[in-house]
Amino acid sequence: MGKAPDRVYLDDAGAAPTLPEVAEALRNVPGGNPSSLHAEGRAARAALDAARDHLAAALNATRTEITFTASGTEAVNLAILGAAHRLPTQAAILTWAAEHQSVIAAARNLQGAGHAVTIGPTDHNATIDLDAIKSGVGLISIGLANNEVGTIQPVAEAIKRAHEIGALVHVDACAGPRWIDIPRGADLVSLSGHKLGAGRGGALFVRDGVRIDPQLHGGPQEWGRRAGREDVAAAVAIATAVTVSTRDRAARSTTAAPQSAELRETLEELGGRLTGGAKRLPNYATATFARRRGEDMLLALDMAGIAASSGSACASGSLDPSHVLLAMGLSLDEALGSLRLTTGYPTTDPEVTRARAILTAVLVRTPAHA
């Protein structure tokens, strides 16, 4: 994904621009079916195997622990639904109110099917309540970092507490792995290509010894965890993106932190209430504006040359408040007036300077609502 030279792209968390290393890796991906025995099929199989090995190495895993999916949402659903179906009927599934929609929806699906499900609370920064991890829980699903406000979660401690009571741990690492390490010890870890600069695909780490039920049925692909012809290009893309992210994580974070700090300063100067904790992803600048609407701000910024996003999502023609911001205790008015600015690998300091000037000009003249 490219951008016009006069625009500033500040929606990295929504869709990260494709990394140049990924674009290069995709130039010569074989087009054959990896299950075919002819030369073209063997070439596709070799490319798929190499991608699996590269991703496993980046995650300190083995090749049999890697399953490629079509998206991060599929990886999340495969982890939660697949693991839950193997649990004793009395074991509860635990997640938290500010987790990603795919996590909450999967948990609600299980609840509708008769499973015990607990949706734990979060504090005003979207940090999870670890005390919700208690006896009787069989599976927890925790985000590496919050998708909307960037708050980094206490994943290592959650893994420790969960394993002490014999529970499995799924880490939703769709947001954050380009910027911070994924703590060791999780039983399942989901990844999303479009948030990593891969542009496509997803992946799921399944620790050796953990059994999950497939959610797509058919052939024996992906170790029997996911049927269907493998998308070799998507596998190559996400494996390359994770490898590059692991290599460049520290340097990229060092660049992103001061850029987001400048943007946060501007948002606060313009009357925004900053959101997200002090311990957050280094590329996030988020705030809410009382008596303003996120949709109005986004459209005005887009017209002025800035691509941004809001904590609200358009659904059925109406603007719904963010469940994350409501879980954090914000009012309905504040939740509807959120703004999320996220920098990425290509973001330059001059772009941030230009963005600050545009934000000031646009938000000052964006009308407030009564």
DSSP letters, 31-99, are -S-TT--SHHHHHHHHHHHHHHHHHHHHTT--GGGEEEESSHHHHHHHHHHHHHTTS-TTPEEEEETTS
Catalytic residue ranges: 314
d(CA 329, CA 125): 9
Distance CA 160, CA 27 (A): 42
List the pLDDT tens digit at each of the 370 positions of the chain.
555 568 999 999 999 999 999 999 999 899 899 999 999 999 999 999 999 999 999 999 999 999 999 999 999 999 999 999 999 878 999 999 999 999 999 999 999 999 999 999 999 999 999 999 999 999 999 999 999 999 999 999 999 999 999 999 999 999 999 999 999 999 999 999 999 999 989 999 999 999 999 999 998 999 989 999 899 999 999 999 999 999 999 999 999 999 999 999 999 999 999 999 899 999 999 999 988 888 899 999 999 999 999 864 444 344 678 999 999 999 998 999 999 999 998 899 999 999 999 999 998 876 666 5
Alpha carbon of residue 254 to chain centroid: 20
- Residue 319 has a pLDDT of 61
How far is Cα 75 from Cα 78, in angstroms, rounded to an integer? 5
Confidence at residue 315, expressed as pLDDT on a 0 to 100 scale = 40
pLDDT at 342: 97
Instruction: Report whether CATH 2.160.10.10 matches the domain 20-245.
Output: no
Residues of the chain with CATH 3.40.640.10: 20-245
* pLDDT computed for residue 177 by the predictor: 94
Q: Start-end ranges of CATH 3.90.1150.10 in the chain?
A: 8-17+249-365
- Amino acid 345: pLDDT: 86
Q: Which residues contact 303 (CB under 8 A, 6 or more apart)?
A: none
- Cβ-in-10-Å burial (0-12, 13-18, 19+) of 317 comes to exposed
Lookup result for tokens 């590059």: 244
Cα–Cα distance list, 12 to 17, 142, 239, 282, 344 (Å): 7, 21, 19, 12, 5
Q: What is the CATH number of domain 8-17+249-365?
A: 3.90.1150.10
- pTM, full prediction: 0.94
Q: What is the C-alpha separation between 333 and 257, in angstroms, rounded?
A: 29
